[in-house]
Structures are given as structure tokens and as C-alpha cells.
């Protein structure tokens, strides 16, 4: 793309890939952060089921429900003015087949104002992708380490290592693209494997712990902004917002307790 679109649409994603312009994606779960990221120029906002880990205190994404996702997605979509808003379909809301996936996707789109849905799986999810796409709903795929399958995968482990696994992952990516997905997230995949997948699929690849050759990158925003004491190895901390917020809260507590807040400037005197 030679110009930044006023509103990112499906065709802009493929145009970006063709032009070699890297796409940017961050998670968002509320209107406040969504507006900030949108104004910063982030191309895609992902209302991820990572809300379970980051906002709800769960240890995995598995407890997250569609009812959890809808208010968050509505808030993000309502705040975004430019970004392409993608909503995760949580565990248990699409696995039983195309009809369940379609019903969940329709519900999410009708109640949130989002632009697309995302769900995990390659060949096993191809029929679901076709059904949802046929209904006019854009789908983003998700391959590699898929958090909803972490019990089967043995935890957060790199996927696609070795020739056999790399070939299977490539086949899954082709299946997702051929089924009609508009993009695919590659999570915790060796960089050479991601580079090969990026080369062979026509849709954009969005990497997270998948090397620099993907067509775009995504991070969970609390990792990107340094909100906690720990973040994954692949997640660069671009700021220390958590420390700054803690310092502000501490200063507030101190001033209230010692009586210096509120002062005359922050009071109505008449």
C-alpha cells in the first residue's frame, strides 16, 4: 500500500502483503486501550481469549466463554476508528462443526460490530472456516502453538520443529488459506518454518514468537507494555507501563494519607 487507509479493510491486508508493508496487531480488551492503540496506528486489534489470562485471572484461556468475549469486543470495536477488529472464538464455541462455528460467529458479529473472527486449527478447522466465510464473515486462522489445545500439546511449546512437523504445519497453513481465511496467526513457530509458510500462502501471516519474516506481528498488549514482572521470551517490552502505574498509585496513596491531596487547586472553594 502506498497510502495508509482511513479504515483498514480485508483487501488492505492482502495489499499490504503484496506491497511488503508489515502489518501490526495488538490485543485489546477495553475501549481505553483500544482507542490508544488505534490512535498509535496499529492496523489490527485482536480481542483475544487471552483476556482469560490477562484480565480475568485464569491460568489458561480455556474457561473463557462467548459471553466473556462479547462485551470486550463491543468496547474495542466501538472505540476503534481505523483498526481492523478481530475477535477470538473461545474454546468450545466452534469445534463441534461448521454449524456451531457459524452460529457463534454470527452472534459475535451481530452484537459487537467487529470486522472478523479468529479461531484455531488447520485442516481440522477448514470446514468451519468455509462455512463462516461463505456467510460473509472474514476469518483469521491460528496455527503453531494453539493455546486452546495446550493440554494436548503439553503446554506452551514451539511447534513445527523437524521436517515432518514443519511440513504438516505448512499443509495446515495452505488448508486455512484455501478455505478462505483472510490471514493466519503463527504462534511459537521456528523462524525458517514461518518464512516458508509466508512464502507459499497468499494471505498475510501474523507472527508471535515466529520470527521476522512474517507479514506482520502481534503481541499481547500487557506483555508489550511491561505490565507484569514476567513476559514471554519472544515478547519485547516496549515500555514499563506497569511500573509507571504502580508509581502513580503509590503517589496517590501517599498524598491522600498525608493530606496533601486534594489541595486548593483540586477543590471547589465556592
Q: Do residues 200 and 170 make contact, with C-beta atoms less than 8 angstroms apart?
A: yes
Q: Coil, strand, or helix at residue 3?
A: coil
pLDDT > 60? residue 2 = no
Q: Coil, strand, or helix at residue 47?
A: strand
Extended strands (E) in 189-257: 205-208, 216-219
pLDDT computed for residue 196 by the predictor: 98
pLDDT digits (tens, 9 = 90+) for 165-192: 999 999 999 999 999 999 999 999 999 9
pLDDT > 70? residue 4 = no
Q: What percent of the chain has pLDDT over 90?
A: 95
Cβ contacts of 27-33, under 8 Å, gap ≥ 24: 27/54, 27/218, 27/219, 27/220, 27/221, 28/76, 28/221, 29/54, 29/55, 29/72, 29/75, 29/76, 30/72, 30/75, 30/76, 31/75, 31/76, 31/78, 31/79, 32/79, 33/221
- Map out the domains of the chain with their CATH numbers: 10-239 (3.20.20.60), 241-270 (no CATH)
pLDDT > 90? residue 1 = no
Whole-number Å distance between alpha carbons of 44 and 144: 20
Cβ contacts of 92-96, under 8 Å, gap ≥ 24: 92/65, 93/65, 93/66, 93/119, 94/119, 94/125, 94/128
Whole-number Å distance between alpha carbons of 177 and 112: 25
Mark the binding-site residues for Mg(2+), compressed into ranges.
Answer: 49, 88, 120
* Residue 141, CA atoms < 13 Å, CB-side half-sphere: 32
Catalytic residue, from 3, 18, 171, 187: name it.
Answer: 187
Vertex 91: Cα angle to 210 and 42 (nearest 5): 45
Mark the binding-site residues, compressed into ranges.
Answer: 49-50, 88, 118, 120
pTM (two decimals)? 0.96
- Is 39 catalytic? The answer is no
pLDDT digits (tens, 9 = 90+) for 239-266: 999 999 999 999 999 999 999 999 999 9
Estimate to the nearest angstrom the gap between the alpha carbon of 40 and the chain centroid: 16
Task: Write down the residue that cell numbers 507459499 correspond to.
Answer: 200
Give the containing element (helix H, strand E) for 115: none
Q: Which residue, 85, 18, 26, is CA-closest to 54? A: 26
Whole-number Å distance between alpha carbons of 129 and 256: 54
pLDDT digits (tens, 9 = 90+) for 108-156: 999 999 999 999 999 999 999 999 999 999 999 999 999 999 999 998 9
Whole-number Å distance between alpha carbons of 98 and 131: 6
Give the N- to C-terminal CA distance of the chain in Å, as an integer: 57
Mark the binding-site residues for 3-methyl-2-oxobutanoate, compressed into ranges.
Answer: 49-50, 88, 118
Amino acid at each position: 500500500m502506498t497510502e495508509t487507509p482511513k479504515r483498514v479493510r480485508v483487501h488492505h491486508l492482502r495489499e499490504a502483503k503484496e506491497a511488503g508493508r508489515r502489518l501490526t496487531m495488538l490485543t485489546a480488551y477495553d475501549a481505553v486501550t483500544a482507542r490508544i492503540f488505534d490512535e498509535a496506528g496499529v492496523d489490527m486489534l485482536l480481542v483475544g481469549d487471552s483476556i482469560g489470562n490477562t484480565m480475568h485471572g485464569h491460568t489458561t484461556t480455556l474457561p473463557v466463554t462467548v459471553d466473556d468475549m462479547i462485551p470486550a469486543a463491543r468496547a474495542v470495536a466501538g472505540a476503534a476508528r481505523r483498526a481492523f477488529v478481530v475477535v477470538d472464538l473461545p474454546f468450545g464455541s466452534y469445534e463441534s462443526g461448521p454449524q456451531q462455528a457459524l452460529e457463534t460467529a454470527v452472534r459475535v458479529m451481530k452484537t459487537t460490530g467487529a470486522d472478523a473472527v479468529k479461531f484455531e486449527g488447520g485442516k481440522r478447522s477448514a470446514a468451519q472456516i468455509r462455512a463462516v466465510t461463505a456467510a460473509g464473515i472474514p476469518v483469521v486462522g491460528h496455527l503453531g502453538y494453539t493455546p486452546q489445545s495446550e493440554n494436548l500439546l503439553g503446554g506452551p511449546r514451539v511447534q513445527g520443529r523437524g521436517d515432518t512437523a514443519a511440513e504438516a504445519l505448512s499443509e495446515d497453513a495452505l488448508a486455512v488459506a484455501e478455505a478462505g481465511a483472510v490471514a493466519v496467526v503463527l504462534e511459537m513457530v521456528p523462524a525458517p518454518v514461518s518464512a516458508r509458510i509466508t512464502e507459499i500462502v497468499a494471505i498475510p501471516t501474523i507472527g508471535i514468537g515466529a520470527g521476522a519474516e512474517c507479514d506482520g506481528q502481534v503481541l499481547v498488549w500487557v506483555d508489550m507494555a511491561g505490565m507484569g514482572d514476567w513476559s514471554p521470551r519472544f515478547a519485547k517490552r516496549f515500555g514499563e507501563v506497569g511500573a509507571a502505574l504502580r508509581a502513580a498509585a503509590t503517589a496517590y496513596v501517599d498524598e491522600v494519607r498525608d493530606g496533601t491531596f486534594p489541595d486548593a487547586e483540586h477543590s471547589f472553594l465556592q
